[in-house]
Amino acid sequence: MVSLESKGFDAPDEVRPFADKGQAQVVNVAGNSVIKGRFEPGWRWSDHVRPIAGTDSCQSPHFLYVLSGRMHLVMNDGTEGEAGPNQVVHVEPGHDAWVVGDEPCITVDFGASPAYATKSS
């Protein structure tokens, strides 16, 4: 059993592109996936990840920390919210999201499904 494990996003285990609007860098630590997302202005889950995931809305949970930028979220039940720098956000499956403004939104997600932004997510 490993008692200490450290990885960085400068050498991620995997990179999952969002077409032309960003990417998810994945590091796997202690059997868990941590995802650093870079969402460029104009990114929207329903436009840039839905074609990859093949679901009507995002079915991944998220427990993320916003480093910079802003993201608007809309749950399938119509509940809406917005997240910005230095905020911690918990989002259940069943939502759409998009970048607000002209600055990239950068997040670190400790709760995403390991299959986020893949065909099986």
In a domain, 7, yes or no: no
Question: Whole-model pTM?
Answer: 0.92
Q: Tell me what pLDDT residue 101 has.
A: 98
In a domain, 9, yes or no: no
Residue 1: which pLDDT band, with cuts at 50, 70 and 90?
A: low
What pLDDT digit, counting tens, does each position of 34-44 carry?
Answer: 999 999 999 99
What pLDDT digit, counting tens, does each position of 50-106 carry?
Answer: 999 999 999 999 999 999 999 999 999 999 999 999 999 999 999 999 999 999 999
Backbone angles phi, psi at 116, to 5 degrees: -55, 135
Q: Tell me what pLDDT residue 19 has.
A: 81
In a domain, 103, yes or no: yes
Which tokens hold the place of 102? 């002209």
Residue 4 burial (CB count, 10 A): 5
Domain that holds residue 53: 14-109
CATH number at residue 43: 2.60.120.10
- Residue 35 identity: I
User: ∠92-94-118 over CA atoms, to 5°?
Assistant: 95
In a domain, 118, yes or no: no
Alpha helix segments (H runs only) across the chain: 45-48, 50-53
